[in-house]
Amino acid sequence: MTMDVTFLGTGSAYPSPHRGASALVLRTEGECWLFDCGEGTQTQLMKSQLRAGRITKVFISHLHGDHLFGLPGLLCTVSLNTNPEQQNLSCVEIYGPRGLRHFLRVTLGLTGSQLLFPYAVHELEPTADQSPEEGQLSLQMTAECGPLHPQEQPGRTIFLDASSDSYLLFEDKRFVVKAFRLFHRVPSFGFCIKEHDRPGRLKTELLKELGLKPGPLYGRLKAGKPVTLESGRVVLSSEVLQEAIPGRKVCVFGDCSSVLGDGPLRLCSGADVLVHEATLGDEHREKAVDHGHSTPEMAAAVARACCARRLVLSHFSQRYKPGSLQKDGDEDDVAELKRQAEDALQDSDVEVTLAEDFLTLPIPLRRP
């Protein structure tokens, strides 16, 4: 089962010709999940190797324009590229903070945008400590005046689960996806995508010794259930299975100057890939924090606390040109951001990567 992450936009605040606004695609076999959708994401998607039509889930970390303004247009264009003959198109599930449903209903509604597929917006209810008070949306502003959009299906409202300090977005056969709280100028969330562990292989030699032949009983054991032999001996699944194959874990942080509560570190512990913003260099730490943002050192501290395998820095101020456009003597060098994170992670095993537009990172299966 292949899995990879492609960065479509790695710039903060606004899109520019050299860095798109925030957007990232997690691809697993047959499906693309989009994380944030700044203006121009659809064009970045066209420039990439990915196919927009495959986007089945969208996650919006927070309602700043540089993470959101591309979403109505992206949905319209995915619809235009959908075959109208196709039946039973699956619902595009959209997750994000309260207010997102109203945003889409108004932008799609006023522009007369009909979609060929249904969509649903599942809203996360932020807590009052996720932003300064002026960053919080009143209930009046997010109240849904009027009926659902013609293609809108009712979405859920998801509240913080206090015991785990996280939001359960969904769980299916392959993944469990949760959100966690971040502090930013407006309420912001991170997302943790955890692939289920898979049972190890059957120890076939041992099974033969026990007199068990391939068949339904093998399936039972593989599914974790015990089997009773004719002799009356009970064979436990754990006896005959090799070590489980641990599921992969990808964590995508929204804009933040800090995590909130113990949910984030608990959820992201041992992440294969942890994507964190580093808007400005460490020398601008005060300004970064003032604006609700992080520096490489701050991102590194999170990755270290999570024992992440790989920290990917993204969401760079537009003052940092991509490495390929960097000229000798340029003042702001994005490579310096990588050095700062690496310095902070010197005595750890965390690998640091700089995101850039169109970079694809494979996430290999873990060896047990």
Tokens of 115: 């979609």
Q: CB-wise, 164 or 318, nearer to Zn ion?
A: 318
Decide if residue 146 touches its own copies (CB under 8 A). yes
**Which of 39, 66, 165, 357 touches Zn ion by CB under 5 A?**
66
Q: Which is nearer to its own copies, 100 or 334 (CB)?
A: 100
Residue 27: DSSP 8-state: E
Nearer to its own copies, 9 or 296 (CB): 9
Q: With CB cut-offs between 5 and 8 Å by kind, which of its own copies, Zn ion, none does residue 255 bind?
A: Zn ion
Q: Do residues 22 and 9 lie in contact, with contact meaning Cβ atoms separated by under 8 Å?
A: yes
Of 64, 178, 194, 276, the residue at the interface with its own copies (CB under 8 A) is 64
- Which of 112, 154, 215, 232 binds its own copies (CB under 8 A)? It is 112
What is the token pair recorded at 78?
A: 């995915």
Alpha-helical (H) ranges within 49-137 are 71-80, 100-110
User: Which ranges of 93-210 would DSSP assign to H, the alpha helix?
Assistant: 100-110, 139-142, 204-209
290 catalytically annotated: no
Selection from 62, 107, 53 nearest residue 84 by Cα: 53
Q: Out of Zn ion, its own copies, none, which partner does residue 82 contact, by CB within 5 to 8 A per kind?
A: none
Residue 152 main-chain phi, psi, to 5 deg: -90, 135
74: left (phi over 0), alpha (psi -120 to 50) or beta: alpha
Helical H runs in the chain?
Answer: 41-47, 71-80, 100-110, 139-142, 204-209, 216-222, 237-240, 263-268, 285-290, 296-306, 334-344
Strands 188-195 and 249-252: antiparallel
Q: Which does 123 bind (CB under 5 to 8 A by kind): its own copies, Zn ion, none?
A: none
Contact between 243 and 197 (Cβ < 8 Å): no
| End-to-end CA, the chain | 15
Site pattern 24..53 for its own copies (x: CB under 8 A)? ---------------xx-xx--xx------
Residue 181-210 contact track with Zn ion, rule CB under 5 A, x = bound: ------------------------------
Our CB check for its own copies shows the closer of 113 and 164 to be 113
Q: Which residues contact 37 (CB under 8 A, 6 or more apart)?
A: 22, 23, 58, 60, 67, 68, 69, 70, 71, 74
Q: Does 325 bind its own copies (CB under 8 A)?
A: no
Q: Nearer to Zn ion by C-beta: 64 or 248?
A: 64
How many residues are there in the chain? 368
Q: Which stretch binds Zn ion (CB under 5 A): 11-19, 215-223, 240-248, 342-350?
A: 11-19
Residue 57's DSSP bridge partners are: 33, 93
- 146 touches which of Zn ion, its own copies, none (CB within 5 to 8 A by kind)? its own copies
Q: Which of 36, 66, 255, 282 is an active site residue?
A: 66
CB of 93 to its own copies, least distance (A): 20
Q: Which stretch binds Zn ion (CB under 5 A): 109-117, 202-210, 254-262, 320-328?
A: 254-262
Could you tell me the smallest distance in angstroms from the CB atom of residue 123 to its own copies?
12
**Which one of residues 165, 255, 282, 357 is an interface residue with Zn ion (CB under 5 A)?**
255
Place of tokens 């395998």: 309
What are 190's two structure tokens? 């991170």
Q: Check: CB of residue 74 under 8 Å from CB of residue 110.
A: no
Backbone φ and ψ of 113, nearest 5°: -85, 110
127 lies in the binding site for its own copies (CB under 8 A): no
Residue closer to its own copies, measured from CB, 2 or 16: 16
Q: How far is the CB of 74 from Zn ion (least distance, A)?
A: 17
Candidate list 4, 54, 76, 218; residue touching its own copies; CB under 8 A? 76
Contact positions toward its own copies, by CB under 8 A?
Answer: 13-17, 21, 39-40, 42-43, 46-47, 63-66, 68-70, 72-73, 76-77, 80, 99, 102-103, 106-107, 109-113, 135, 137, 140-143, 145-146, 185-186
Residues acting as catalytic residues: 66
